[in-house]
């Protein structure tokens, strides 16, 4: 690896102390380093395709922040197939594995080639109104369909591979990857899934029934969510979110078509801590 992009979070790395430390270390080892500064508005703001001029595509992106910053980077760079290394500036995360105290040691291992790359499944979602595509998004964790108004459920039908599955009245529904199973899905009562699996998890959010549970589907299945009329008639208003960030307003008659993305997020792994060890730490905190 010769060229690096350091994507830093100004709210997490005050004064860019760690950013400068990483940049100086890499440049002292003869590497080319570009720095991109992110803030919360950019992390959760409108997403645009990222391209690089000839010869300027990085061999890896070093992401400073937490899992939220990593999720945005995953969506931004998956098409470029650039591996990501997460440096955790918050609490223990599932995606950003390098902590501040070991960053130079970790970078030394990276430069020495002592690392592996994990490939994680992603979801792609298309939002269709009538016959028109009004939104497209990617997610490493999940794509959620949620109510817009408090104290009101939304009504929607779910189809799998064109076959009707169930009608729901609920606060919403989550369509999660294995990586996303430990996020919103877990808080909504969904199952924890080993992140290297290939499958899709459907978890209704606060369903107005006593017999709704998560449903596990094959990764190759296509999920369609169709927004129905409001309970008293009229237009139902809701919204879809990708990884808790990208936002799309939806309404009665809209459909959200979700399937496994063709490309996968590539995450650089430098230590031997397993998912189960991280999970154990999380469960005993």
- Contact indicator for 246, 75 with CB cutoff of 8 Å: yes
Residue given tokens 């990708």 in the structure block? 242
Measure the CA–CA gap between 30 and 79, rounded to whole angstroms.
Answer: 27
* DSSP one-letter string for 32-90: EEEEEEE-HHHHTS--------TT---SEEEEEE-HHHHHHHHHHHTTTT--EEEEE-S
Closest CA to 78 of 49, 56, 52: 49
Burial pattern 174-192, b for ≥16 Cβ within 10 A else e, equals bbbbbbbbbbbbbebebee
Catalytic entry in 34, 54, 67, 79: 67
142 is an active site residue: no
Residue given tokens 């939002």 in the structure block? 127
The angle formed by the CA atoms of residues 36, 142 and 90, to the nearest 5 degrees, is 50
The crossing angle, in degrees rounded to 10, of helices 17-28 and 103-111 is 30
Active-site residue numbers? 67
């Amino acid at each position: 690896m010769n060229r690096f992009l350091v994507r830093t979070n100004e709210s997490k790395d005050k004064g860019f102390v760690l950013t400068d430390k990483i940049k100086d270390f890499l440049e002292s080892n003869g590497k080319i380093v570009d720095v991109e500064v992110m803030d919360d508005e950019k992390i959760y703001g409108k997403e645009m395709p990222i391209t690089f001029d000839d010869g300027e595509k990085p061999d890896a992106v070093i992401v400073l922040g937490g899992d939220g910053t990593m999720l945005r980077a995953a969506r931004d760079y998956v098409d470029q197939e650039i591996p990501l290394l997460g440096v955790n500036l918050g609490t223990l995360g599932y995606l950003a594995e390098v902590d501040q105290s070991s960053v130079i040691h970790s970078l030394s291992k990276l430069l020495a080639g002592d690392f592996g790359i994990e490939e994680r499944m992603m979801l792609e979602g298309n939002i269709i109104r009538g016959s028109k595509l009004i939104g497209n998004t990617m997610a490493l964790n999940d794509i959620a369909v949620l109510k817009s108004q408090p104290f009101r459920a939304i009504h929607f039908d779910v189809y799998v591979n064109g076959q009707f599955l169930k009608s729901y009245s609920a606060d919403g529904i989550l369509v999660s990857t294995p990586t996303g199973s430990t996020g919103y899905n877990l808080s909504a009562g969904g199952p924890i899934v080993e992140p290297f699996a290939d499958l899709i998890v459907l978890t209704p959010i606060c369903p107005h029934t006593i017999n709704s549970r998560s449903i596990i589907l094959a990764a190759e299945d296509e999920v369609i969510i169709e927004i129905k009329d409001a309970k008293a008639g009229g237009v139902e208003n809701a919204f879809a979110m990708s990884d808790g960030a990208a936002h799309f307003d939806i309404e009665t008659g809209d459909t959200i078509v979700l399937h496994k993305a063709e490309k996968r997020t590539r995450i650089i792994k430098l230590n031997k801590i397993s998912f189960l060890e991280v999970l154990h730490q999380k469960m005993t905190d």
